[in-house]
Amino acid sequence: MSSTTDTGKSLRLALAAANMKNKDLAEKAGISENYVSRLAVGKAMIQGEMLDRIASAFGMKASEFLALGED
């Protein structure tokens, strides 16, 4: 049985743990607040450089960030 990763869940958990709001992450990662909102509800995908930027904004490696959303 393989696990699946919910990147929206990863994002929501990381935001809560860091006590950050979507706006805070958007500013720190250099992305739009609208994009952060879409990621959080699963209407957009995080991949490649964007994944690295978001994970870095939380002080994490991409793999650590993704592990938050594993089932």
| pLDDT tens, residue order, the chain (71 aa) | 445 679 999 999 999 999 999 999 999 999 999 999 999 998 988 888 999 999 999 999 999 999 999 87
Model confidence, pTM: 0.88
Which of these, 1, 14, 6, 2, lies nearest to 43 by C-alpha position? 6
- Per-residue confidence (pLDDT) for residue 46, from 0 to 100: 86
- Per-residue confidence (pLDDT) for residue 2, from 0 to 100: 43
- Per-residue confidence (pLDDT) for residue 45, from 0 to 100: 85
* Contact assessment for residue 42 and residue 11, using Cβ atoms and an 8 Å cutoff: no
Which of these, 66, 68, 70, 71, lies nearest to 16 by C-alpha position? 68
Name the token pair of 12: 């929501």
- Per-residue confidence (pLDDT) for residue 1, from 0 to 100: 41
All structural domains of the chain, each given as residue ranges with its CATH number in brackets, are: 7-65 (1.10.260.40)
Question: 5: which strand partners?
Answer: 70
